[in-house]
A = this chain, B = another copy of it.
Amino acid sequence: MPLGRRKQLILQAIIEDYIKTAEPVGSRTVSKKYLTNVSPATIRNEMADLEEMGYIEQPHTSAGRVPSDKGYRLYVDELMDKRTVNKQEHEFIRKEFMEVVGEIDMLIKHASRILSAMTNYASIAMAPQFKRTSLKHLQLIKVDSYNILAVIVTDAGIIKNSIFRTETDIEDGVLEKINKILNHKLVGLSIEELVNMDISQLEVGAGPIGEYEQVFSKVLPELLQALRYSERVEIFSDGAANLLDLPEYNDVQKAKNFLNVLNESELLYDILNDVSNNISITIGKENKIHQLKDCSLITATYSYNGKIIGSIGVLGPTRMKYSKVISIVDCLTKNLSDILTKIVKS
Contact = CB atoms under 8 A, between A and B. Distances in A.
A241 B252 CA distance: 10
A103 interface: yes
A244 B259 CA distance: 10
Interface stretch (A61-69, A143-151, A292-300): A143-151
A151 B141 contact: yes
Contacts of A232: 102
Contacts of A245: 256
Given A159-B163, A259-B244, A143 B153 contact: yes
A163 B137 CA distance: 12
Contacts of A36: none
A102 B231 CA distance: 11
Contacts of A239: 263
Contacts of A92: none
Given A101-B229, A143-B136, A144-B136, A238 B252 contact: no
A159 to B, nearest CB: 4
Contacts of A212: none
B229 A244 contact: no
A161 B163 contact: no
Interface in A52-100: none
Interface centre among A139, A232, A346 (most CB of B within 10 A): A139
Contacts of A157: 163
Interface string A104-142: 000000000000000000000000000000001101010
Contact of A255 (B141, B153, B252): B252
A21 interface: no
Nearest to A143: B137
Contacts of A153: 141, 143, 149, 163
A157 B161 CA distance: 11
Contact of A159 (B136, B161, B229, B252): B161
Contact of A141 (B101, B137, B241, B260): B137
Contacts of A25: none
A240 to B, nearest CB: 6
Contact of A259 (B159, B241, B250, B346): B241
Interface string A230-243: 00100000111100
B149 A144 contact: no
Interface string A262-299: 01000000000000000000000000000000000000
Interface string A146-174: 00010101000101010101000000000
Contacts of A263: 238-241
Contacts of A256: 241, 244-245
Contact of A241 (B139, B159, B260): B260
17 contacts: A102-B229, A136-B144, A137-B144, A137-B149, A141-B153, A151-B151, A151-B161, A153-B163, A159-B161, A238-B263, A240-B259, A240-B263, A241-B260, A249-B252, A250-B252, A252-B255, A259-B259
Given A102-B232, A151-B151, A151-B161, 8 more contacts: A102-B229, A103-B161, A143-B153, A149-B159, A157-B163, A161-B161, A165-B346, A245-B256
